[in-house]
A and B are shown apart, each in its own frame.
Chain A
Amino acid sequence: NAGVTQTPKFRVLKTGQSMTLLCAQDMNHEYMYWYRQDPGMGLRLIHYSVGEGTTAKGEVPDGYNVSRLKKQNFLLGLESAAPSQTSVYFCASRTTGGITGELFFGEGSRLTVL
């Protein structure tokens, strides 16, 4: 039972480079989320999706893009990385209970932008 899988787990980028984080879930969940975790700031929602083909902005969407072409995958892209995007990124999916269901999280992707 894989649950939520994030790749890569670690990445170092130079300012201005681009990259994509992949999140895959095998639980047939409708809702998927991307959060970033920074010390003292908890988890902040970047973008989320309530179903295949849909995306919506969260609290801190600037500098990120997302796509949900397949129900099981949710991609987070950085077009031009900045040092302020150094963070740990977590993907999560939500049970079929909808907005009352709990989230299942991946193990995180640690990104450093130099």
Chain B
Amino acid sequence: AQSVAQPEDQVNVAEGNPLTVKCTYSVSGNPYLFWYVQYPNRGLQFLLKYITGDNLVKGSYGFEAEFNKSQTSFHLKKPSALVSDSALYFCAVSTSSNTGKLIFGQGTTLQVKP
């Protein structure tokens, strides 16, 4: 069975500092990996995805993520955090063998303080 783990319930960073939100996955077959962001009382919004190719993926709002096959990780990063980045972040995975199911991690709350 495929699964996604986000080991941190909350990440706190100061504005202007780099941020990392961690994600690890467990699948059989090639993974397709996604990051989504959720602002309060809103639906999830797509940030970026890794399908194949370059391990460093760039997405919306200055975010990027690095796919590491040996560590089965897909950490979300941003060089300089903004207060407006404060939100709930979800990592998700699907594979070529599961007819479209997308499995989400439990989410990590990012708090950026001025």
Chain A contact residues, CB within 8 Å of chain B: 4, 31, 33, 35, 40-45, 48, 50, 56, 58-59, 90, 92, 94, 98-100, 102-108
> Shortest CB–CB separation between residue A25 and chain B, in angstroms?
12
Please report whether the interface of chain B is mostly helix, strand, loop or mixed according to DSSP: loop
Choice from B43, B95, B102, B105 contacting A4 with Cβ under 8 Å: B43
Q: How far is the CB of A42 from chain B (nearest CB, A)?
A: 4
Tell me the chain B residues, 55-114 only, with Cβ under 8 Å from chain A: 90, 94-96, 98-107
- B43 & A56 in contact (Cβ 8 Å cutoff): no
Give the number of residue pairs across the A-B interface with Cβ within 8 Å.
66
> Chain B, interface size: which category?
20 to 34
Task: Tell me, yes or no, whether B22 is within 8 Å of chain A by CB.
Answer: no
Task: Identify B99's interface contact among A41, A59, A99, A102, CB under 8 A.
Answer: A99
Residue of B nearest to A40 (CB): B106
Question: Which residues of chain B have a CB within 8 Å of any CB of chain A?
Answer: 6, 9, 32, 34, 36, 41-46, 49, 51, 90, 94-96, 98-107
**Beta-carbon nearest neighbor of B6 in chain A:** A42
Determine whether the beta carbon of B106 is less than 8 Å from that of A50: no
Whether the pair B44, A42 counts as a contact (CB closer than 8 A) is: no
A50 and B100 contact, CB distance less than 8 A: yes
Our pick among B32, B45, B105, B106 for the contact of A99 (Cβ within 8 Å) is B32
Name B44's contact: one of A45, A90, A99 (CB within 8 Å). Answer: A90
**Which chain A residues lie closer than 8 Å to B104 at the CB level?**
35, 42-44
Residue on A nearest B106 in the bound complex, by CB: A42
Given A99-B96, A100-B49, A102-B34, also A107-B103 (CB < 8 A): no
